[in-house]
Amino acid sequence: MNRFTKIHRASRFFMLAFFIINATTAQEIEPLNVFGSEYDEHQPIIHDSGAIYFTKAFHPENRGGKEDPGDIWYAAPSQIGVFQLPVVLKEMSTAYYDLLIGFLAPDTALVYHDNLLDQQVLSKYHKNQNGQWEKGDMVSIPGFKIDGSHFSARLHASGRIMVMAMKSFGSYGNEDLYISKMEGNQWSRPLNLGPTLNTFQQELSPFLSEDGHTLFFSSNAHGAEDGKQVYVSHRLDDQWTNWTPPKTLPLPSKDGMNQYYVEDPIHQKAYYTNTQTSDGYGNIMYLGEGEFPLMKSQMDWSSQNLPEKSPLKEEDLVISSEAQENRILEKIETKADSTSQEASFDEIFMDLEPGATIPLDRVFFKRGSADLVDVGSADYIRALSKYLLDHPEINVLLEGHTDSYGSARLNKELSINRANTIRNIMVEAGVPFERINATGWGGDKPIASNQTPEGREKNRRVEMVILEK
């Protein structure tokens, strides 16, 4: 049985569990503490063998002792209880923060190290003939840059899709959700999953279902009342930026925050970390026999208008950013007016000095939205991206602006979202993310009166400031 067959069979169980109508849905579900530890435990991942791997912080047996913010631990399955007593995997750990992201294959792991050789890196580990893990090559992801203190990620069951949570270029605020896919040995540039999921607050600890249609993550946005809670959303089509509005996953009522949700197709259980206070330690919890389907049955998807589900397609896993960039550039280069467009940009940039501002007056957004109005706006941004690719000495700042009507806070959010939309297209077209900054001013910097429709239209704009040339 190949890996995709296993994925599809397991996914049928979980999708069925979503739609079970159980007469006992009002029953109280009590989650169980897996280890009953006094230490901070999170990011549970289930191996094909049934063993559980997770990160444990501030334990005296960690590589860095009680000050170590997280080493990788392991617990084998048990015939008596859930798992045997866990042990630290020092061969996978450092004196800094370490996080197992998942398994590329049963004998190949992918690990994030917060400080390895003074870098934030992803590294492969391989299991040798003696059953010990040995460090392998570092993994390179184009455009991978963490601009903050948090990183969490999980591999899809195929080992070829990675969903990440981090603050990076293109983020809407704090940590956002991104996806990267592997073709051969190359991971694609991280793609922001879009404003339906991502907010100005935190989106963390993602987990993608085995059929590739359902995403679980934690957030303190989307109406969360008690800190971070687990949310679930469904992918609406074959794109990775179109999702249903997130809904709270009905985990058992318990004080504190819930994060790091993951499903175990081997034992038909679900695991997650519950933290009693915002700065307290987390315990790995699980739903016992019969409780996981019961919890899923309480979800009401009738109002979501979900598309018909199909198994994750092979082509969903092998689209690389390099191929996407080549197709974008090919489209630009074959346009009839590509030569005149290049000459137009030459004329625009020729006499400008650093600090000069260029209005992007051929880019149009839907009213009250960060979505582009037409294909022409996207084509213009891609043509501009090609010019920046051909002139690597130019670094720019994208500034979003709105009129002054409505909420000042929402206007600022909208202005940043619009600048980020342009930056995302530029990065997808191959412009290095470090060459593009983005910000938003809302209605704070008008260039015309907000008392007339014409003035308000002029104030709704995105401008590009030349930083270096």
Q: CA nearest 123: which of 72, 57, 68?
A: 72
- The reported pLDDT for the residue numbered 177 is 95
Measure Cα distances from 110 to 56, 118, 243, 256, 451 in Å.
Answer: 17, 19, 27, 30, 57
CA distance 429 to 389: 9
Count Cβ atoms within 10 A of the Cβ of residue 358 and give its class: 0-12 exposed, 13-18 middle, 19 or more buried: middle
> HSE-up of 393 (CA within 13 Å, CB side)?
5
Total-model pTM: 0.63
> HSE-up of 400 (CA within 13 Å, CB side)?
27
- No. of H helices and E strands in the chain? 7, 25
Instruction: Determine the distance from the C-alpha atom of residue 369 to the mean position of all C-alpha atoms in its chain, rounded to a whole number.
Output: 21
Please give the backbone phi and psi of residue 17, each rounded to the nearest 5 degrees, phi first. -65, -30
Count Cβ atoms within 10 A of the Cβ of residue 22 and give its class: 0-12 exposed, 13-18 middle, 19 or more buried: middle
Which amino acid, residue 428? E
- The reported pLDDT for the residue numbered 6 is 44
The pair of three-digit structure tokens given for residue 181, joined into one six-digit string: 């896919």
Instruction: Determine the distance from the C-alpha atom of residue 230 to the mean position of all C-alpha atoms in its chain, rounded to a whole number.
Output: 14
Residue 171 near residue 177 (C-beta atoms within 8 A): no
Q: Let me know the angle formed at the C-alpha of 210 by 308 and 133, rounded to the nearest 5 degrees.
A: 170
Count Cβ atoms within 10 A of the Cβ of residue 21 and give its class: 0-12 exposed, 13-18 middle, 19 or more buried: exposed
- The reported pLDDT for the residue numbered 278 is 42
**Residue that has been written with the tokens 């009401």 in this structure:** 300
Residue 396 near residue 388 (C-beta atoms within 8 A): yes
Mean pLDDT by 10 residues, the chain (469 residues): 41 35 44 84 92 95 94 88 89 96 94 88 92 92 86 93 90 90 84 90 93 91 74 89 90 81 84 72 81 59 52 49 36 39 69 84 84 84 91 92 83 90 92 90 88 83 88
CA distance 204 to 230: 9
- The reported pLDDT for the residue numbered 252 is 80
Residue 451 near residue 162 (C-beta atoms within 8 A): no
**Residue that has been written with the tokens 């069951």 in this structure:** 157
Alpha helix stretches (DSSP H) within 209-357: 291-297, 321-333, 338-349
Give the SS3 label for residue 338.
helix
The pair of three-digit structure tokens given for residue 250, joined into one six-digit string: 């009905």
- The reported pLDDT for the residue numbered 28 is 55
